[in-house]
Amino acid sequence: MVNLSFFLQKKEQAQSYDAEDHFEFEWSLQIDFDLNIQNVIDASLNIEHFQLPPDMDQEMKDVVLNTMRPFLKHPGSSFA
pLDDT digits (tens, 9 = 90+) for 36-55: 888 898 888 999 888 888 88
The pLDDT assigned to 9 comes to: 84
As a whole number of angstroms, the distance between CA 76 and CA 73 comes to: 9
For residue 6, pLDDT beyond 60: yes
Q: What is the pLDDT of residue 76?
A: 54
Higher pLDDT, 76 or 21: 21
Cβ–Cβ < 8 Å for 56, 23: yes
**Do residues 51 and 79 touch, judged by C-beta distance below 8 A?**
yes
Residue 29's identity, in one-letter code, is L
Give the DSSP H/E element, type plus range, for residue 42.
Answer: strand 40-51
Q: Identify the band that residue 59 occupies on the pLDDT scale cut at 50, 70 and 90.
A: very high
